[in-house]
Amino acid sequence: MERLPDTEEAVTDRDVRFDYRGDGTAEEVLRWALEKFHPNIAVACSFQHAVLIDMAVKIRPDVRVFSIDTGRLPEDTYECARDIECRFGVKIEWYFPRHKAVEEMMHRNGPLSFRESLDARRECCAIRKVEPLNRALSGLDAWITGVRREQNVTRATVAKIEIDDAHGGIVKLNPLSDWSYDRIRSYVREHRLPYNTLFEKGYTSIGCACCTRAVKPGEDSRAGRWWWEHPEYKECGLHARNWQI
Ligand code: SF4
């Protein structure tokens, strides 16, 4: 069986679903996955740019796209979501946190508890992001993310095709894992794609408004996420392998 060089670590013989024989480009990985898993596959989009959706709709115009509204997203992110729906004709499947869990956390800890400790920040991410993600993935056989290796030390070894043990062993595709930030920007420009306008204000990675800031010249692309934390902790749990809600 031929495999992508960078999938070998993640793929073992127990994964009989892996019959990938493409050339390893982002488009080729997407084509294989969408042909194999649709409609039980969806793109997870946080509305930073539309590179993956642009590639996916050319393969399957009815590709499924979902997103998690944490309740604390920046306005620019909703504008990007609207632009993507208009441009590609996709209908975004939104997932929200359980309101009771958010209310209890806010009553107990206040509105900015996530800045007080790593545990408090992880609790907020678990309630607002991880739990809705678990619901979004239930029933899916595979999901597609925009995770890239250069984003942070926590992502340096991600493969293009993985088994997601944190979510029941479904397949996780990271087709852009070997792309640089500059390559993303070039693709967006070349194809005139919708993108999050916070990029024009110095942001290089965008999450919740209260936990994201613009980066300074020379800083890592995720330096503006939870900027008060060490880089090795900069994961919200959506892609972390070693902790969950
Ligand atoms: Fe909460 Fe910040 Fe995580 Fe958003 S990024 S879920 S506000 S801790």
Does the annotation mark 236 as catalytic? yes
H-run or E-run covering 35: helix 26-37
Beta strand 161-164 pairing with 170-173: antiparallel
Task: Give the C-alpha separation, 182 to 19, whole Å.
Answer: 31
- Residues 25-33: what's their mean pLDDT? 96
Which of 48-57, 168-177, 191-200, 232-241 has the weakest average pLDDT?
232-241
User: Residue 71 and residue 90: Cα distance in Å, rounded?
Assistant: 22
Per this entry, what is the length of the chain?
245
- 161 in contact with ligand 1, CB cutoff 6 A: no
Phi-psi region of 71 (alpha: psi -120 to 50; beta: other; left: phi over 0): left
For the CA of 212, the nearest atom of ligand 1: 5
What is the pTM (predicted TM-score) of this model? 0.88
- Distance from the alpha carbon of residue 7 to the mean position of ligand 1, in angstroms: 30
Higher-confidence residue: 16 or 24? 24
Ligand 1 binding pocket mutation candidate from 46, 98, 117, 125 (most atoms within 8 A of CB) = 125
- Average per-residue pLDDT in the chain? 88
> What is the Cα 169 distance to its own chain's centre?
17
- Closest C-alpha to ligand 1, atom 4: 208
Confidence of residue 228 (pLDDT cuts 50, 70, 90): confident
